[in-house]
Structure formats: C-alpha cells, structure tokens
C-alpha cells in the first residue's frame, strides 16, 4: 500500500490484528524507536494513587525515519536488483532496520511489535527517497523484502490502468 494508506497507524494496526502481513509506504517524518530502544513499560506503584497503565517515553525519544536513515553508515546500504525492466534490470540502494513504530505509543499499554523499516536512497539524490514498513518475518531475505514492495507497486499500477480501461504502452 502507498504512503497515503501506510501513514494511517490505525489501518496498519487493524491489518496486523487480522493476522495479515503488509508492506506499506510511509512518509519521512514517521516516528520510530531505533533498533534497541522502546518506550518504558508502565511502572507498578506501591502506595497511593492510580497505577500507571500507559507506556512512558522516559529519557529517550523516538526519531523520524529520515533521521534514522541519515544516521546509517555506508555499510548499511546495499544495491538490490528486483526485476527486469523494459531496457535493463531495475536496481537501487536500500537499507533495512527492525524498528517499532512510535506514533502515539504513549497512549498504549503494550509495546508495538517490531517491523521492518525499508529505505530507498537513489545514488544521485541528497537524501533517502522512499520509506516502507513491513510486517514480513524477521528472517525475510533482504532482496525478497525489496521485491515484495516493488512488485506490489507494479501490481497497483497495472490495476489502476485496468480500472481506467487503458493498456500499458509498449516501447
């Protein structure tokens, strides 16, 4: 799904609750907990007052996916080829990390599960160009993760053309 739907945390949560997997485009300002970080669970209280029920931000804060992408080392980026195009094979530079989406998690009582963050950064650009969340399993191969999104994008384009009653142009 594209970023118009992928930015909808409620939709992604509902899809996950149904036991389905997704690859969803997201915007560069989407907030995540970097690898190894997460909100603090509610603390049990002794004494008076109502016990905490929501996750706490604590000392550290989530960051945007763009900030995370810009912090990655050169070794994190790999060129992945995903399919044959009209004149040549299609390839681009990608990085991936396991992260926890952070949007309004301070209203939750349990941690969100980790997901893949997939980032595309074209070599001639000054910053990353596309971002995706994916709930594919942790052991998913890097190239399969890339192909799962790129094939979905091509399928959506074909479906859109079919609904519009147009045919793809041949070169």
Residue 155's pLDDT is what? 47
Tell me the average pLDDT across 51-75: 82
Would you say residue 108 has pLDDT above 80?
no
Tell me the average pLDDT across 123-135: 90
- Alpha-carbon distances of 67 from 32, 49, 82, 86, rounded to whole Å: 10, 38, 26, 34
Per-residue pLDDT band at 117 (split at 50, 70, 90): very high
Residue 72's pLDDT is what? 93
């Amino acid at each position: 799904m594209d970023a118009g739907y992928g930015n909808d945390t409620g939709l992604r949560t509902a899809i996950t609750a149904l036991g389905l997997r997704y690859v969803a485009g997201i915007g560069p300002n989407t907030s995540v907990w970097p690898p190894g970080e997460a909100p603090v669970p509610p603390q049990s209280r002794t004494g008076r007052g109502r016990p905490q029920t929501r996750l706490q931000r604590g000392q550290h804060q989530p960051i945007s996916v763009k900030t995370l992408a810009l912090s990655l080392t050169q070794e994190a980026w790999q060129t992945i080829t995903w399919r044959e195009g009209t004149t040549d094979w299609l390839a681009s530079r990608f990085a991936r990390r396991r992260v926890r989406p952070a949007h309004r998690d301070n209203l939750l009582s349990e941690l969100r599960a980790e997901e893949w963050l997939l980032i595309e950064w074209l070599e001639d650009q000054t910053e990353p160009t596309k971002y995706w969340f994916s709930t594919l399993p942790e052991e998913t191969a890097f190239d399969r993760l890339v192909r799962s999104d790129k094939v979905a994008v091509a399928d959506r384009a074909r479906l859109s053309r079919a609904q519009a009653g147009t045919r793809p142009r041949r070169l």
